[in-house]
């Protein structure tokens, strides 16, 4: 006999609705270029700051909540765009998702900054767990895993990795499913980390304007970085097809 789910109480529905409103208001403030603060969110919601503390007890909790929800919503948009290619074409899906990630960062720079410039490195263990729950991180690394399953691109052996890197891939603190990867094959996670660093690096440079504006407008630096990663991911034979997809997606996001 199936277990019936306990009905959601009215208080629980109200609490969830308040959390949703907090995120919506915070997003509006970010898109307006306004400072995000507990006081600003409470004022926009018609609440007092002490009343808001019942939902988010600190500024950092507010940032963590909003960043997680923004990441989840943005990833859903990239996933929807990439879904025009079938499940058995993860390379095409990855190219589309990378372009959509870039487009989000350029069109919503304050949202991007909140999600990806939210300091975690010196955080306590509870906040560090947030990194491993990142929706976008799981989406991108799942696509990389699907590409590896199909193309079996090479990755370093554990013995060839620096001891610090070896420890990091054996006990990863990154948003990636690793349980299904045998410890002896965890060199694959080093590919994950490096590929993400390349994507994040170029998109951050563009989003913050720390790059020649002509290069940003043309998308050529981003394009070059994506194309440089085709060979390491075993996709050299598909370069022509994936380049066409990349250029088409860049054109779509310029409209």
Lowest mean pLDDT among 49-63, 186-200, 231-245: 49-63
- Residue predicted with more confidence, 59 or 120: 59
CB-CB neighbours of 35 under 10 Å = 9
Same domain, 50 and 74: no
pTM metric for this prediction: 0.88
Domain span at 170: 70-254
The overall average pLDDT reported for the chain is: 90
Asked if residue 177 belongs to a domain, the reply is: yes
* CATH number, domain with residue 25: 1.10.10
Q: Is 64 part of a structural domain of the chain? A: no
Confidence bin at 132 (pLDDT 50/70/90): low
Report whether 139 contacts 97 (CB < 8 A). Answer: yes
Look at residue 150 in the predicted model and tell me its pLDDT.
96
Write the DSSP string, 136-156.
Answer: HHHHHHHHHHHHHHHH-----
Into how many domains does the chain fold? 2
Q: Are residues 47 and 90 in the same domain?
A: no
| pLDDT value for 98 | 98
Judgement on whether residues 101 and 224 belong to the same structural domain of the protein: yes
- Count other C-beta atoms under 10 Å from residue 247's C-beta: 14
- Residue 124 pLDDT class (50, 70, 90 cuts): low
- Number of Cβ atoms within 10 Å of the Cβ of 221: 16
pLDDT band at 121 (very low <50, low <70, confident <90, very high): very low
Which spans in 9-89 are helix H? 10-31, 38-45, 49-52, 59-82
pLDDT score at 7: 61
Shared-domain flag, residues 146 and 224: yes
Cα distances from 179 to residues 170, 190, 192, 254, in angstroms, run: 10, 15, 15, 39
Residue 241 or residue 131, greater confidence = 241
237 contact partners, CB below 8 Å, separation of at least 6:
none
Please check whether residues 193 and 107 belong to one and the same domain.
yes
- 241 and 145 within one domain: yes
Q: In terms of domains, do 175 and 85 share one? A: yes
| Residues 78/97, Cβ–Cβ less than 8 Å | yes
Query: In the numeric block, which tokens belong to residue 136?
Result: 């976008």
Whether residue 38 is found in the same domain as residue 121: no
């Amino acid at each position: 006999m199936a277990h019936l789910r306990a009905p959601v109480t009215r208080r629980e529905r109200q609490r969830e609705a308040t959390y949703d409103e907090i995120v919506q208001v915070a997003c509006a403030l970010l898109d307006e270029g306004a400072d995000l603060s507990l006081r600003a969110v409470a004022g926009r919601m018609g609440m007092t700051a002490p009343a808001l503390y019942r939902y988010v007890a600190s500024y950092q909790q507010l940032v963590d909540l909003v960043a997680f929800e923004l990441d989840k919503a943005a990833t859903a948009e990239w996933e929807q765009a990439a879904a025009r290619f079938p499940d058995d074409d993860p390379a095409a899906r990855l190219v589309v998702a990378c372009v959509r990630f870039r487009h989000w960062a350029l069109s919503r720079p304050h949202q991007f900054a909140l999600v990806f410039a939210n300091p975690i490195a010196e955080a306590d263990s509870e906040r560090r767990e947030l990194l491993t729950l990142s929706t976008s991180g799981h989406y991108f690394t799942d696509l990389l895993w699907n590409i590896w399953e199909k193309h079996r691109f090479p990755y370093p052996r554990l013995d060839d990795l620096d001891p610090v890197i070896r420890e990091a891939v054996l006990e990863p603190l990154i948003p990636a499913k690793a349980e299904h990867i045998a410890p002896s094959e965890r060199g694959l996670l080093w590919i994950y980390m490096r590929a993400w660093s390349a994507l994040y690096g170029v998109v951050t440079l563009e989003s913050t304007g720390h790059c020649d504006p002509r290069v940003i407008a043309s998308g050529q630096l981003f394009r070059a970085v994506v194309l440089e990663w085709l060979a390491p991911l075993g996709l050299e034979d598909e370069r022509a097809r994936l380049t066409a997809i990349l250029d088409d997606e860049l054109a779509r996001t310029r409209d």
